[in-house]
Amino acid sequence: MAAHFALLIDPAPPAADRPDFADTFTVIDPSAPALSVGELSTQRGDGIFETIGVVDGHPQEVTAHLERLAHSAALCDLPAPNLAQWRQAVARAATACPAAGEGAVKLILSRGVEHGPAPTAWVTASVAPDHTPARENGVRVVTLDRGVDSGASERAPWLLLGAKTLSYAVNMAALREAHRRGADDAVFVSSDGVVLEGPTSSVILRFGDRFVTPATGTGILHGTTQMSLFEHLRATGREAAYETVPVAALARADAAWLVSSVRLAAPVTAVDGRELPVDRELTASVNRYLLSPRD
């Protein structure tokens, strides 16, 4: 998603209690140089980010995204972001997204320049790609071993497995490997056989009338779209649970989806070459919900 709008943020201390942060924002040319060569986000991937879907000018699930930004910052020992300031930055960037259709606002908080006095922060706005084919036709996935067991995040928190960091080289390598294997996407599994998440998505499985997603204690990112969808499913009388999901359960599922903030819900049509049932009616209903205004 090529950005057509960018806003540099002068990070405010968390305690700053003020109604307006406009003077801490600077609109910059997204196609012009803006970062120092000493910037640690580019040198080491030392930073965090969030991507917020925007539908008809409305940024979706802003509170959940900001809470996750703060959680990632804490895991990475970054200064706590002032969420009121970031909320205003999101609202400003969202005005640059299409008034009709879909867009995306990306939030980036970096450790800044090496030995510098403060972090670097900015947001961008872009037009979202057309994800209609994935939503309607689904995706074929392969399972890929993440190389750690399901208890690694508790045993080694420095791996930052539950943080949304800028270090996405492994995630992109996993997608390339999936494409080499003739699939569209991947599902990470632990070395002890537990389903984790997609490189850029959460996994949801349906067994009869029950909906299940992997428990976050295994070191996966808590998905904002998954959380919202679970609230919707429960509100419509369905059971939705967080569980430890063995890899073998993928083949037994009555339906499965990869869900994320911009692509929304993409039904899984096959896992490791084995066809999986697709609930097209439910998928369409879920995406209608995800395209509705949600705060």
Same domain, 39 and 118: yes
Task: Report the run of H or E that residue 169 belongs to, with start and end.
Answer: helix 169-180
- Ranked by mean pLDDT, which of 31-40, 43-52, 108-117 comes out on top? 43-52
Residue 278 has pLDDT above 90, yes or no: yes
Query: Which one, of 35, 39, 41, lies nearest residue 166 by Cα?
Result: 41
Report the predicted TM-score, pTM, of the whole model to 2 decimal places.
0.95
Least trusted range by pLDDT, from 173-177, 208-212, 219-223, 254-258: 219-223
| 199: CB partners within 8 A, 6+ apart | 170, 171, 172, 174, 175, 185, 186, 188
Confidence grade of residue 38 (pLDDT, cut at 50, 70, 90): confident
Amino acid at 21: F
| Each residue's pLDDT tens digit, 179-208 | 999 999 999 999 999 999 999 999 999 999
Least trusted range by pLDDT, from 2-6, 144-148, 254-258, 290-294: 2-6
Amino acid at 167: S
For residue 18, being part of any structural domain is answered with: yes
Residue 231 confidence (pLDDT): 96
Instruction: Single out the residue in 77, 93, 127 at which a domain terminates.
Output: 127
Same domain, 136 and 122: no
Q: Scanning the structure block, which residue is given the tokens 């490791």?
A: 272
Same domain, 167 and 254: yes
Amino acid at 75: L
25/79 Cα distance (integer angstroms): 18
Same domain, 150 and 103: no
Residue 59 confidence (pLDDT): 98
Same domain, 277 and 249: yes
Domain extent for 19: 3-127
35/38 Cα distance (integer angstroms): 8
Same domain, 137 and 108: no
Task: Report the run of H or E that residue 4 belongs to, with start and end.
Answer: strand 3-9
Residue 219 confidence (pLDDT): 87
Task: Report the run of H or E that residue 149 belongs to, with start and end.
Answer: none
Number of domains the chain is built from: 2
The average pLDDT across 30-54 equals: 92
User: How far, in Å, are 27, 169, 177, 183, 253 from residue 138 at the CA level?
Assistant: 38, 25, 19, 11, 15
Describe the strand order of the beta sheet including 102-110 as a list of residue ranges: 25-28, 3-9, 120-127, 102-110, 47-55, 58-59
CA angle 236, 241, 247 (to 5 degrees): 130
Q: What is the CATH number of the domain that holds 154?
A: 3.20.10.10
285/106 Cα distance (integer angstroms): 27
Confidence grade of residue 85 (pLDDT, cut at 50, 70, 90): very high
Let me know if 181 is exposed, middle or buried by CB neighbors in 10 A (0-12, 13-18, 19+): middle
Instruction: Single out the residue in 112, 127, 142 at which a domain terminates.
Output: 127
Torsion of CA 18, 19, 20, 21, to 10 degrees: 40
Same domain, 111 and 183: no
Tell me how far the alpha carbon of residue 123 is from its chain's centroid.
Answer: 15
Residue 120 confidence (pLDDT): 96
Residue 280 confidence (pLDDT): 96
Same domain, 123 and 162: no
User: How far, in Å, are 1, 37, 70, 96, 109 from residue 7 at the CA level?
Assistant: 16, 19, 19, 11, 12
